[in-house]
């Protein structure tokens, strides 16, 4: 699907409680039995009642929590807290109308609290009352102009309604608030394309592609010279001084991690790479180096999961180049657009290699377990032909059992590209698109393969199609996101989505592809989902039988 579908899932809350973390006394260390005894001894204590109710709620005992919160409300009729807590309980029970009423009461007591107004808007949206939701989201932003979730939900509703200007307005504000957020810039660029404003799209994509941490190479020169001379400890001391002076510089932490690798200090190297990513989550170099260090130390699962994150980051950059090329093409800058598509294609081998390495590492981890934990330190990103061949065979077997899984065809195509079977890879990507006509990643990979094969016109068509929003599926994915956010109604989400896809002419196995649809709207982490999908291909009677349970587990977290 178009990258824009991710905007439909942004701003959704896992539960209503997360909107009121600051207002409710949710203390994980509270002992349930101890609180109950203390409250029985002091039954008029509102504070103890609230803490006990939250403890019940954490345990999933919604009815007990509700009873305690009702008691707290009667003890403190002018307090907002019990009403917010009751709204959360009703949310857990799937009673949105009652949640809304409690929040309205809380809002009358404290009309200036943006969290309460946002909660009211969120209930309206989930109840299908979009106009009222929009009014309340706007009111929440008047009270708190930095409330990101409100902008995201306003944009999601606008996107559902194809109100491009309104969606653009929300994302322009988000871009002002967070100018280095790659996802915001890509979304805004894509919105400009949808609104036929290619010149502005070009500007946004170019800005997105410029987001790369500044390494301040001259300040690193001294440390690097010392390292080249073999004076690694002195180089480490030099970089540590720089980091104390410039603590927020992610590239410094990456270079320090590299030096710790040379010094054989694995734990400290991992720590520095992780600090760099905490500072700059989209730092591709740091992600790859973190995965590589895990791999060197035989931590194959950690390495594979990290490489999956690197794939997502690299694919984001590819998407930015594709968007830039499409926008240039719309402006009539044909020569520039072809050069930009070539840049997108130049990044693609990294994603293919990393995915192949991820599957190889999974098989490697299986071997490691079979050999009682023996590791193979010094591993790298080369070799492993037999393991890759095994991964190809597993995908072929899975496709025989489940031929209508778009993501299986897509991953199979990536493996085929890696081993040089380019025509077969193109067929695999076409199969993925035949099942899911708007599978953005498959369309991009197909377009790159077609351009490499000299089929430039069809390649450009596929690049354009990858970014085009398919109106048939927008509302379906919007509703799926709302339902998935209601944990108690996830089964209903599956049924609703299956019925909608059947009505849209999709094959009957689309229920099994709901994981991909949830990834499209950002409700399931792609890197983690890819890793789980690879693990599902281990030998067994039905390699995809656990897909729905995996989704349920992901939804509960």
pLDDT in tens, 540-552: 434 333 334 433 4
Average pLDDT over residues 477-489: 75
264 token code pair: 């054989």
* Nearest one of 264, 243, 261, 262 to 252, comparing CA atoms: 243
Average pLDDT over residues 388-407: 87
Return the minimum-mean-pLDDT range out of 282-291, 319-328, 383-392. Answer: 383-392
Average pLDDT over residues 185-203: 95
Q: Tell me which of 263 and 373 has the higher pLDDT.
A: 263
- Exposure of 147 by Cβ count < 10 A (0-12 exposed, 13-18 middle, 19+ buried)? buried
Q: How many CB atoms lie within 10 A of CB 161?
A: 15
C-alpha 63/C-alpha 205 separation (Å) is 50
What is the dotted CATH code of the domain comprising 162-211? 1.25.40.10
pLDDT band at 131 (very low <50, low <70, confident <90, very high): very high
Query: What's the mean per-residue pLDDT of the chain?
Result: 84
Half-sphere exposure of 152 toward its Cβ, with a 13 Å CA cutoff? Answer: 22
Per the rule left: phi > 0, alpha: psi between -120 and 50, beta: everything else, 443 is: alpha
Instruction: Quote the distance between the C-alpha of residue 321 and its chain's center.
Output: 20
End-to-end CA distance of the chain, in Å? 25
Return the minimum-mean-pLDDT range out of 54-63, 372-381, 389-398. Answer: 372-381
Instruction: Quote the distance between the C-alpha of residue 340 and its chain's center.
Output: 26
pLDDT band at 159 (very low <50, low <70, confident <90, very high): very high
* Nearest one of 112, 104, 39 to 72, comparing CA atoms: 39
- The model's pTM is 0.81
**Is the CATH code 2.60.40.1260 the one for domain 217-281?**
no
C-alpha 88/C-alpha 73 separation (Å) is 14
**Is the CATH code 1.20.1530.20 the one for domain 313-467?**
no
* Nearest one of 356, 284, 345, 352 to 313, comparing CA atoms: 284
Average pLDDT over residues 300-311: 87
Architecture of 3-154 per CATH? Answer: Alpha Horseshoe (1.25)
pLDDT band at 402 (very low <50, low <70, confident <90, very high): confident
138 token code pair: 């706007």
Q: Tell me which of 193 and 15 has the higher pLDDT.
A: 193
The domain ranges of the chain are 3-154, 162-211, 217-281, 313-467, 471-556
165 with 173: CB under 8 angstroms?
no
Whether 313-467 and 162-211 are alike in CATH topology: the answer is: yes
* Res 336 pLDDT > 70: yes
* Res 153 pLDDT > 90: yes
């Amino acid at each position: 699907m178009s990258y824009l579908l991710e905007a439909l899932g942004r701003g959704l809350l896992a539960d209503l409680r997360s909107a009121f973390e600051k207002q409710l006394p949710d203390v994980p260390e509270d002992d349930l039995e101890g609180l109950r005894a203390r409250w029985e001894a002091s039954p008029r204590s509102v504070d103890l009642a609230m803490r006990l109710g939250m403890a019940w709620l954490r345990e999933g005992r919604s009815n007990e929590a509700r009873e305690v919160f009702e008691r707290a409300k009667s003890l403190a009729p002018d307090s907002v807290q019990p009403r917010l807590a009751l709204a959360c309980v009703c949310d857990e029970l799937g009673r949105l109308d009652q949640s809304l009423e409690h929040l309205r009461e809380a809002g009358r007591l404290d009309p200036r609290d943006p969290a309460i107004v946002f909660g009211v808007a969120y209930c309206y949206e989930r109840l299908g009352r979009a106009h009222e939701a929009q009014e309340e989201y706007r009111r929440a932003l008047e009270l708190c102009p930095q409330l990101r979730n409100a902008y995201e939900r306003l944009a999601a509703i606008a996107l559902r309604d194809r109100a491009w200007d309104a969606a653009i307005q929300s994302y322009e504000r988000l871009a002002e608030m967070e100018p280095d957020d790659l996802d915001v810039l890509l979304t805004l660029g894509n919105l400009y394309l949808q609104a036929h404003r290619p010149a502005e799209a070009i500007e946004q994509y170019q800005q997105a592609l410029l987001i790369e941490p500044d390494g301040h190479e001259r300040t690193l020169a001294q440390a690097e010279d010392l390292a080249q001379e073999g004076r690694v400890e002195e180089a480490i001391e030099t970089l540590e001084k720089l980091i104390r002076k410039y603590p927020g510089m992610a590239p410094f932490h990456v270079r320090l991690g590299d030096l710790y690798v040379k010094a054989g200090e694995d734990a400290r190297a991992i720590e520095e790479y992780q600090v760099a990513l905490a500072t700059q989550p989209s730092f591709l170099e740091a992600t790859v180096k973190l995965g590589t260090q895990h791999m060197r130390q035989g931590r194959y699962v950690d390495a594979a999961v990290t490489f999956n994150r690197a794939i997502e980051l690299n694919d984001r950059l590819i998407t930015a180049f594709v968007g830039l090329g499409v926008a240039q093409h719309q402006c009539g800058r044909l020569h520039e657009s072809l050069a930009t598509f070539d840049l997108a294609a130049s990044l693609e081998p990294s994603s293919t290699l990393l995915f192949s390495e991820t599957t190889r590492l999974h098989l490697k981890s299986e071997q490691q377990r079979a050999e009682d934990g023996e590791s193979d330190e010094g591993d790298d990103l080369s070799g492993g032909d037999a393991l890759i061949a095994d991964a190809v065979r597993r995908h072929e077997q899975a496709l025989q059992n489940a031929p209508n899984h778009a993501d299986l065809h897509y991953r199979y195509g990536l493996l085929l590209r890696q081993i040089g079977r380019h025509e077969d890879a193109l067929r695999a990507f076409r199969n993925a698109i035949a099942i899911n006509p708007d599978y953005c990643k498959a369309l991009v990979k197909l377009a790159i393969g077609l351009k490499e094969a000299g089929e430039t016109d069809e390649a450009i068509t596929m690049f354009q199609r990858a970014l085009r929003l398919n109106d048939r599926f927008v509302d379906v994915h919007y509703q799926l996101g709302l339902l998935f956010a209601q944990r108690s109604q996830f089964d209903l989400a599956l049924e609703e989505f299956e019925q909608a896809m059947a009505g849209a002419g999709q094959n009957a196995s689309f229920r099994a592809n709901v994981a991909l649809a949830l990834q499209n709207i950002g409700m399931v982490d792609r890197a983690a989902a890819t890793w789980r999908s690879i693990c599902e291909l281990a030998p067994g009677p039905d390699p995809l039988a656990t897909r729905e349970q995996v989704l349920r587990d992901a939804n509960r977290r």
